[in-house]
Amino acid sequence: MTLRILGAGVMGLALATELTARGHAVELVDPAPAPGPHACSWWAGGMLAPFCEAETGGEIVARHGQPALDWWDQHTGLTHRAGTLVLTLARDSGERLRFARRTTGHRTLDADGIAALEPDLAGRFASGLFYEAEAHLSPRAALAELRARLLAQGVAFHTAPPATQPDLVIDARGLAARDQLADLRGVRGEMLVLRCPGITLSRPVRLLHPRIPLYIVPRGDGVFMLGATMIESDRRGAVTVRSVLELLSAAYALHPAFGEAEVLETGADARPAFPGNLPALRRRGGTLYANGLYRHGFLLSPAVAAMAADHLETGTIPDFMDEAPT
């Protein structure tokens, strides 16, 4: 059976990787010749944080997100397993307590424990939460690695559909699939990339705030990714002044050294999301739709890919298949 995957973002590449590993013949079609700024996964944080993301996504995100750490390790070798540190300013300590109640897989740190994990944050926070079994990766490097490994295995990438007809089409076009999925919506996320040699962090740090939660992900060599806004909008394009001010203010609150950082890059895109903010598989005739990753692209794409492969091989109806095949 020949499978044609539409879209070569994180969902399409994860599908191709999973299906190829199981011995299926696949080809990918994407108008862009390689991963790049056209895809919302290009702007992702790359946090593999199933326990933290359960705070809003619930147990199903934690359960299906945990295998992603091993999956990305197996297929890219780029996973950094250093956990996640969650902090609040003193006035927002209630946010930390609420976050702790809504999540598992953490232990509480005092000021000394925080300093032991992140020496550059010593003396700045009295308490925090450490999610040891979480990880992160560089999304752009991971996308490139998946593509390179698929090419090495002989998988074809096309910028337009070939004339031959596949046995099944898997549509993983993200927000572009709204032409077929009427309930798909965009959720805008904005990010910054900074260079700040004055501070070193070894793991993603989340600074909770009632209005402007921040995460900072180290990329190495004094470079950090800051994100991310969550705006109900499908507007793409440049970041807004408001978002830049909020993200930079939160970073400065984490550590004043960020006040001297260089802004290397700004970016924004719209994440594809369904009502309920969980991904979905939908089978309609000769097309299987895989979409709606929301803010969990790198965390849940391996699970969605595995569920799609299971469905194609055995006919099972997985957790994320939200309507019966037609």
Closest CA to 269 of 252, 293, 288, 246: 293
Predicted TM-score (pTM) of the model is 0.95
Superfamily the domain 84-132+185-273 falls into: D-Amino Acid Oxidase, subunit A, domain 2 (3.30.9.10)
Q: Which two tokens stand for residue 71?
A: 């999956």
Q: Of the candidates 47, 83, 80, which has an alpha carbon nearest to the alpha carbon of residue 65? A: 47
Token pair 């003396």: residue = 123
**Per-residue pLDDT at 178:** 96
Question: Angle at Cα 15 formed by Cα 11 and Cα 17, nearest 5°?
Answer: 115
List, in order, residues 6 or more apart from 272 with CB less than 8 Å away: 40, 174, 175, 177, 184, 185, 186, 291, 292, 293, 294
Pick the CATH number of 2-45+138-183+275-314 from 3.40.1410.10, 1.10.287.1770, 3.40.50.1220, 3.40.50.720: 3.40.50.720
Q: What is the pLDDT along the chain (326 residues), one digit of tens a residue?
A: 889 999 999 999 999 999 999 999 999 999 999 998 888 899 999 999 999 999 999 999 999 999 999 999 999 999 999 999 999 999 999 999 999 999 999 999 999 999 999 999 999 999 999 999 999 999 999 999 999 999 999 999 999 999 999 999 999 999 999 999 999 999 999 999 999 999 999 999 999 988 778 999 999 999 999 997 777 888 787 889 998 999 999 999 999 999 999 999 999 989 999 999 999 999 999 999 999 999 999 999 999 999 999 999 999 888 888 765 55
d(CA 21, CA 318): 19
Looking at the DSSP assignment, which residues form a beta bridge with residue 263? 194
Is residue 5 left, alpha or beta, with left meaning phi > 0 and alpha meaning psi from -120 to 50? beta
Q: How many residues does the chain have?
A: 326
Domains of the chain, by residue range, sit at 2-45+138-183+275-314, 84-132+185-273
Same fold, 2-45+138-183+275-314 and 84-132+185-273: no
**Dihedral (CA of 198, 88, 122, 113) sign:** negative
Look at strands 127-131 and 107-110 and give their pairing.
Answer: antiparallel
Sheet containing 214-220, strands listed edge to edge, beginning at the edge strand earlier in sequence: 107-110, 127-131, 84-88, 205-208, 214-220, 223-227, 185-195, 262-273
* Predicted confidence (pLDDT) per residue in 28-63, tens digit: 999 999 998 888 899 999 999 999 999 999 999 999
Instruction: Give the per-residue pLDDT at 325.
Output: 54
Model pLDDT, residue 210: 80
* pLDDT tens track for 109-123: 999 999 999 999 999
Give the model's pLDDT for residue 319.
85
Dihedral sign of CA atoms 308, 312, 314, 315 in order: positive
Main-chain phi, psi angles of 298, to 5 degrees: -80, -25
Among 287, 307, 11, 291, CA closest to 166: 287
> Residue written as tokens 């070193």?
200
Q: pLDDT value at position 238?
A: 85
Bridging pattern class, strands 185-195 and 223-227: antiparallel
Calculate the average pLDDT of the chain.
94
Cβ atoms 9, 41 nearer than 8 A: yes
Q: What is the pLDDT of residues 220-240, one digit of tens each?
A: 999 999 997 777 888 787 889
Euclidean distance between the first and the last CA atom of the chain, given in angstroms as a whole number: 19
